[in-house]
Amino acid sequence: MDKLTRNDLWSLEEYAQHRAGFRQQVLAHKKDLQAGLGEHLRLLFEDRMTIQYQVQEMLRIERVFEPDAIQEELDAYNPLIPDGHNWKATMLLEYADVEERRLALARLIDVERRVWVQVGDGPRVYAIADEDLERSDESKTSSVHFLRWELSDSMMAALKQGQAVHLGCDHPALSVETTLTEPQKEALRACLDEPRAH
C-alpha cells in the first residue's frame, strides 16, 4: 500500500469543500475495518484512506499549509499505513467508568502483546506493539496502543483462498476471540499485496 505524499492531499481550501463528503466516505469505509474483542477491547485497522483522513484533519485543525510542516505530518502518520504484508491497528481499551478503567488497566499490563490473528487453522501471529514509544509501565497499561501483525506468504495465500480470519487475546485477565465477518475480511484483505509466487 503506497505511502501518502503531498500530492495526495487537498489544500486547506480544497479540503473545506470536500470534507463533508470525504468524511461520510471514510466513516462508511471504517465500518468494516474495526473489530471488537469482548466488551472492552476494540481494534481500529488502518489503511491509506483512514490515514489520509487523519492527516487532512490534523492539517485543518492546526491550519498547516507550509510544505515542510505538511511533510512532518506525513512522516508522523505514514508509518501507520500497512506495508502490503502486514496489518496495523489502533487498539482501544474502552471503559466508561473511570474507576473500572483504572482497575482494568492495572490488571491488563502487557495485554497489547497478547493480541493475535490467525488465518484458517494456521499458527497464531501475535502483535508487535507500540514501536514508536512505550505506553505501559509496571503499574498499568495504556488505554491506547498501536499494533502491527506481520503475515507470512502462507497466511496471505490462505486469505486469498477465502480461509477464515480469527482475532483473539489470550491475556490472563482478558481471554476472548472472534471470527471476522466476510466484509471485515475483505476490508483487511484489501490492505495486502498479492501473495508472492514461489
Question: Is residue 116 included in any domain, yes or no?
Answer: yes
Each residue's pLDDT tens digit, 93-142: 999 999 999 999 999 999 999 999 999 999 999 999 987 767 677 789 99
Q: Look at residue 173 in the predicted model and tell me its pLDDT.
A: 94
pLDDT tens digits, 67-77: 999 999 999 99
Is residue 194 very low, low, confident or very high in pLDDT (cuts 50, 70, 90)? low
Contact between 177 and 37 (Cβ < 8 Å): yes
197 domain-assigned: no
Q: How sure is the predictor about 2, in pLDDT bands with cuts at 50, 70 and 90? A: confident
Domain of residue 59 covers 6-189
> What is the rounded distance in angstroms from the CA atom of residue 143 to the CA atom of residue 55?
22
In a domain, 153, yes or no: yes
- Environment class of 33 (CB within 10 Å of its CB; exposed 0-12, middle 13-18, buried 19+): buried
